[in-house]
Structure 1
């Protein structure tokens, strides 16, 4: 809970927002995969890892393309979501590009859809915010720039944020700047409703 102390008493009344298009919760089975001796730093290693994981789950090459009998289900109308870091994503995209010339859906890995892990997605977003709103000198000139927030929140670290901040610093900055901007929006709204009030503290004590 942020803002003047007076508003903290209402925290228990804040409920979760009403869902609009809620996805129903479903229990899905989880199977532990065995260790694999593959080199995940290469494209071929990632292809091998995906095939081995599918094989452990009972999914192999379709019977029509296999030299041996198999009970593998047909996944030609389905996709397999593959999670990993950004480096894994780049190698999988390269693999899909290389395999695109193959003649069958299985051989060109049509079923593989890469989804980055949430942590790595947050890292990429934080890096994009830094490259767009902090690193360029032109992005710091506006009075509403993110660097002005840095000057208020971290006055001794403006140089660090302008050159090469780590993820932890960017994550904290984004969280605090968002909170401050939300509170400032409330301040502007309240002043429009009652010009005699100039701050949230004044509103809390009124």
Structure 2
């Protein structure tokens, strides 16, 4: 089953050699699940011809806001609507979570409550899950047909589902603690309050549930493999 990765941002230059770009993080996360991958760097204007170009789709995170004026955002929203209409499985993470909501009629904005960074506890499908977060923007109004399946104390609309073919997450299951440590040191200082970064650094040794979410993501894609 081939998954088209729509890359909407790039890893920080200072971290790319060690960790790879955002698509590489997802290939590592979902590796061994019987999936193959092709990346389209939509942030650089590289798009597939349409929803039929892959069996399923994944939209990555980005440092950009879904509401910002970039040339590549309107065609990405159009592609999201096409994928939705096709019924092919689609997963969005962080920016991906936000742009899917926006494309389908929801609203995204810079949250006045500030940032969520590092290990964060969520309730997803009524089960406690710990994942790494790195965001200030949030989905603040749901599209028609979206349902909330996960939330945290900070982010009410943290995990959304649309029918049985779209599943989106605000947190980052592809971010391991070492990647968060890199973000703290190489992107966060001067942007995120130091107190929050220090708290996130202290939580780095604590366990997270990336592996469990990876299994759910693979199962989600595979559930639509022959449809």
User: What TM-score range do you get, normalising by the shorter chain?
Assistant: under 0.3
Identify, as 1 or 2, the structure richer in strand: 2
**Higher RCO structure (Cα 8 Å, ≥6 apart):** 2
From the CA coordinates, give the structure whose radius of gyration is larger: 1
Identify, as 1 or 2, the structure richer in helix: 1
**TM-score, normalised with respect to structure 2:** 0.26
